[in-house]
Amino acid sequence: MNAFATVLLAGITAVTMNPGTAGFDLADLFRSEGQVLNICCFDLDLVPLMEEYYPGYASDAESWQEEDGMLTGRGSIGETEVRWVVIPDSRQYTDYLDERLIGRDSLSPDERVDIFMIDADSATKYCSAGADVALTMEDLGIADGTTSQYRFTRQLVSDEDGFQRAVSWNVPCGAFVYRKSAAEAVWGTSEPELIELKVAAWPILQNTAAELRKGGYRLFAGPDAAYYPLIGKSIPWVDAEGTITIDDNAVRWVREMTEARDAGYIGNLETGTLPWIETLGKNSDVFGYFMTSEEAAEYIGRDAPADSAGDFRVCRGPSSYMNGGRWLCAAAGTDNRNLAADILWTFTCDSEVMTRMSLETGMITNNSAAMDQIRTDLSYGNPLFGGQNDIAVYAAAAAACDAEDLTYYDRVLSEIFLEAYRPYFSGEIEEEEALNAFYRNAVERYPYLNER
C-alpha cells in the first residue's frame, strides 16, 4: 500500500454493535434486505464517520487494500456485509460510478451500488429526475427529517420537480478567518464584531488592505483566496443558446486581484499548497483567509504550524458563499433501501448525532436545529479560534447561502476559469492568454458549447 493509502487509512478502527437510530428495526432489516451494502466514495471521509457515529457498524481494518488507484475495504452491519470502493481520481470515479448506475440491471443485487457520494460539481447530473439514478427522500421515507437541513444544501441536490435526491452531513459555507495578532498590531483590537466592520463589503476591503499593508501585513496569501467568495452568487455560465458567458463577478475578481497584486496587498500563493500552509505560522505577514469550517479544522487544526495555536478568529466577511461539500445518494435499484435510508437519516437528520459530530470534529453539520443549540450555548468555544463560538458565525453564513439558480455547467466552468488565470497571476502569461486558455479548456470539456 502506498503513502496515500497509508495516511488515509491510519485511523480506521472497529466499533461495537448498537441499535439503529432512524426508527427502523435493524434486525428486521438484516433479514429482509440484501446481504451486501456497496458504498462508493471519492474520498475516505465517510469511513471514520461510519465507525464513530453509525450505531451497528463494525470495520474490518485489515481488509483495506489499493489497486489501480482504487481503495477497497469491508465492514459489517449485523449480518450485512459493507463493501467500500473509494476512488480519489474524479474522472476514474465518475466512469466507475456511471458504468454501475446506468448498467445496474445487468448486475446482480450484491454487485449494485447502494449508496454513492457526489460533490457540488456533479449534483445536477446525478440528481436529475431524467437520469433517475438516485432515489428521492420521499422514496426513502425520510423527507420529513430533511427540513432542518440548510436550504442551499437541499437546493443543490433537488431535481427538476423539486424533489431532493441527496443529503449532506457537512455544510460547505465559508467565512472570513483572520489573524488575531495582526488585527491587534494594526487596529489595536481583534474583536470579531469590530473586525467584521473592516471586511463587511468588498469596497471596504480595499481600504482595509491598504491599512494592513502600512502595518506590514498582506490581506490574502494569494488571489484565489477571494475567488469563490467574490463570485458567490453568479449568473449561469452558459446562456439559453449554449454560449459560454463569463460572470461579471469573475471579471471583477480578475480586475480587483490584479490591482491588489500590483499594490502589494496580496501574495501569490495557491490555497492549500505547502507554502500557503506555512503562512498560517506565527511570523507570517498574511492577515486573512476564507475558509469553511471543514477547511479550518483541516488547515488550522491539523496542518498549521504549532506556534499559531489560538491566533485565529472568524467573522462573516463580505459575502456568503459555498465551496466543496459532499452529498450521499441512495442508488436506484438498491436492494438495501431501508438500510440506506437509515444511514442517510443518521448522518443528516438525527440531531443528537449531528450535535456530537459538530462538537467533536469542529465542523458545522447540516442540521440547523442542532446548530442553533450550539450557537446559543455560552459554554461552547472552539479552541482553534481561541474559544470563540465559530458555529454561530458559520450557521449565520449557511442560512444566507443560496444555490437556487446554479446550473449544470456553473461549478465546473468557474473552476476552469480559476485554473486558467493562475499562470496569469504568477506572471507566466498575459491576461489575454489566460482568457483564451479558459475558452479552449471549456470547449474541450464541453465540445457542444459555443465561445462568447
Residues 105-130 have pLDDT tens digits of: 899 999 999 999 999 888 888 999 99
Looking at the predicted structure, is the pLDDT value of residue 27 above 80? no
Give yes or no: residues 329 and 418 share one domain: no
199 CB neighbour count, 10 Å cutoff? 21
Give the model's pLDDT for residue 17. Answer: 29
Give yes or no: residues 314 and 330 share one domain: no
Nearest to 361 by CA among 151, 117, 171, 179: 171
The answer as to whether 380 is a domain residue is no
227 CB neighbour count, 10 Å cutoff? 24
Looking at the predicted structure, is the pLDDT value of residue 22 above 60? no
Q: Please name the residue that has the C-alpha cell 504550524.
A: 305
Looking at the predicted structure, is the pLDDT value of residue 242 above 90? no
119-123, 203-207, 324-328, range with the lowest pLDDT = 119-123
DSSP assignment of 213-261 equals HHTT-BSBSSGGGGHHHHHSSPPPSB-TTSBB---HHHHHHHHHHHHHH
Give yes or no: residues 244 and 317 share one domain: yes
* Cα separation, 116 vs 131, whole angstroms: 15
E strands, 293-436, are: 312-315, 327-330
Q: What is the DSSP letter of 157?
A: T
Give yes or no: residues 122 and 187 share one domain: no
The answer as to whether 451 is a domain residue is no
pLDDT average, residue stretch 261-290 = 94
29-38, 335-344, 388-397, range with the lowest pLDDT = 29-38
* Cα separation, 325 vs 348, whole angstroms: 13
Contacts (Cβ under 8 Å, ≥6 apart) of 400? 320
Instruction: Tell me which residue range forms the domain holding 273.
Output: 174-321+385-445
Indicate the number of domains in the chain: 2
- H/E element, 140: helix 137-140
Domain with residue 313: its CATH number is: 3.40.190.10
The answer as to whether 263 is a domain residue is yes
pLDDT average, residue stretch 400-425 = 84
Give yes or no: residues 273 and 415 share one domain: yes
Give yes or no: residues 341 and 274 share one domain: no
For residue 167, which phi and psi values (nearest 5 degrees)? -135, 150
* Cα separation, 383 vs 381, whole angstroms: 6
Looking at the predicted structure, is the pLDDT value of residue 280 above 60? yes
Looking at the chain, the whole-number percentage of residues with pLDDT higher than 90 is: 72
Give yes or no: residues 287 and 347 share one domain: no
Nearest to 180 by CA among 287, 76, 307: 287
The answer as to whether 81 is a domain residue is yes
pLDDT average, residue stretch 270-296 = 94
Give yes or no: residues 438 and 296 share one domain: yes
pTM of the model: 0.87
The whole-angstrom distance between residue 358's C-alpha and the CA centroid of its chain comes to 15
* Cα separation, 272 vs 304, whole angstroms: 11
271: pLDDT confidence band, cut at 50, 70 and 90? very high
